[in-house]
């Protein structure tokens, strides 16, 4: 019998250091007015030198487990979505697994850039559905500011660091919380719209550009169109309409993209979760952070239908609709407090 996964707990963590738009005015030719008008961002968080994607993810996962009151030994799988890993290997997920004490779990990373969390959520849901796992931790975590060229005002103003985590468990027939179906798509023909190189890159642009390179106009157009279409497809596959959506949680890439998608779907803006003003684009972490904050703020209730939508480099994009269960989080989502334990 096929089972359905649900999110039963969530957690988030943001680094302490706040970088405002005024701070960026000291680095590049820009202004608070320009950044706010074009992106909706007022400030973002920057990881400390001793922090990394793994340590940020560890703290988000710990808060999630505390909320769920789950023994880490009962975790079967840890999936980390990230495009800013600590290194080429081992996986960030293995460092998170060890640090939270999930000694019996398997672990691996997913890199679909900003779409990594939703990709990981779809994979984790399938593990639950097939009975291969009973408890899956899905983390979106990024120290993505390490990939920025701080002299490029078109990209350095956009990003911030942070992590969010979700616990997946099977949903009983009488319980709220079903996730899916998922609509996931990729188009490698548009790979050069946004990319970053690295130490193993071949000769050419990727070798030369170890930081994020972006065609902002092309990405804007693609994001609005693909997010709109995938949202409609996910709603149709779920047998729902826009009127059934209680909360829209889009990838927090740019407030103008988010509002354009909501408007094109006919979704009232007061039903859209917005965190980009405070945290910027935390890449794969934006959606799980937003879910944790929405719950902590009392914007999510058992039975609410939540539309998730994302797009990232690849280009890779997707959407799903989930029915919210009633996990007991709350105070554990205070993203201001917590001492990170460094990855070993």
Residues known to be catalytic: 114, 251, 281
Q: Which residue has the tokens 């997913």?
A: 110
Helices (H) and strands (E) in the chain, counts: 10, 13
Chain centre distance of CA 31 = 27
Q: What is the dihedral of CA 307, 10, 12, 140, to 10 degrees?
A: -60
Chain centre distance of CA 245 = 20
Chain centre distance of CA 41 = 17
CA distances from 163 to 129, 140, 141, 142 (A): 25, 6, 4, 6
Chain centre distance of CA 254 = 14
Q: At a CB cut-off of 8 Å and minimum separation 6, what does 202 contact? A: none
* 8 contacts 224 by C-beta, under 8 angstroms: no
- φ/ψ region of 91 (left if φ > 0, alpha if ψ in -120 to 50, else beta) reads beta
Can you tell me the distance from the alpha carbon of 42 to that of 50, in angstroms, rounded to the nearest whole number? 25
Please name the helix (run of DSSP H) or strand (run of DSSP E) that holds residue 295, with its range, or none. Answer: helix 286-296
Can you tell me the distance from the alpha carbon of 13 to that of 58, in angstroms, rounded to the nearest whole number? 9
The 3-state DSSP class for residue 31 equals coil
Q: Report residue 11 as tokens.
A: 């957690």
Comparing CA positions, the residue from 95, 98, 198, 99 lying closest to residue 146 is 198
């Amino acid at each position: 019998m096929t089972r359905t996964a649900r999110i039963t707990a969530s957690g988030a963590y943001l680094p302490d250091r706040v970088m405002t738009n005024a701070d960026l005015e000291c680095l590049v030719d820009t202004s608070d007015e320009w950044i706010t008008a074009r992106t909706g961002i007022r400030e973002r968080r920057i990881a400390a030198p001793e922090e990394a994607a793994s340590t940020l993810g560890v703290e988000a996962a710990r808060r999630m487990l505390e909320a769920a009151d789950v023994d880490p030994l009962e975790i079967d799988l840890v999936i980390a979505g990230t495009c800013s890993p600590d290194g080429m290997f081992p996986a960030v997920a293995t460092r998170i697994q060890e640090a939270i004490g999930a000694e019996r779990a398997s672990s691996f990373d997913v890199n679909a850039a900003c779409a990594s969390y939703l990709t990981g959520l779809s994979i984790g849901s399938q593990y639950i559905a097939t009975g291969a796992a009973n408890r899956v931790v899905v983390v979106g975590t990024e120290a993505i500011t390490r990939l920025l060229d701080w002299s490029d005002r078109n990209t350095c103003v956009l990003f911030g660091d942070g992590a969010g985590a979700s616990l997946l468990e099977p949903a009983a027939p009488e319980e709220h919380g079903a996730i899916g179906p998922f609509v996931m798509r990729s188009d490698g023909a548009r790979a050069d719209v946004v990319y970053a190189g690295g130490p193993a890159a071949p000769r050419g642009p990727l070798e030369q550009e170890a930081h994020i390179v972006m065609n902002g106009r092309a990405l804007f157009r693609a994001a609005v169109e693909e997010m709109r279409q995938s949202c409609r497809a996910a709603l149709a596959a779920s047998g729902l309409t826009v009127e059934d959506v209680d909360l829209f949680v889009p990838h927090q890439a740019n407030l103008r993209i988010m509002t354009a998608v909501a408007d094109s779907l006919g979704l009232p803006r007061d039903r859209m979760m917005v965190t980009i003003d405070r945290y910027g684009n935390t890449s794969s972490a934006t959606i799980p952070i937003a879910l944790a904050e929405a719950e902590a703020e009392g914007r999510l209730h058992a039975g609410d239908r939540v539309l998730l939508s994302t797009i990232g480099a690849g280009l890779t994009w997707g959407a799903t609709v989930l029915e919210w269960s009633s996990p007991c989080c709350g105070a554990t989502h205070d993203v201001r407090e917590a001492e990170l334990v460094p990855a070993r």
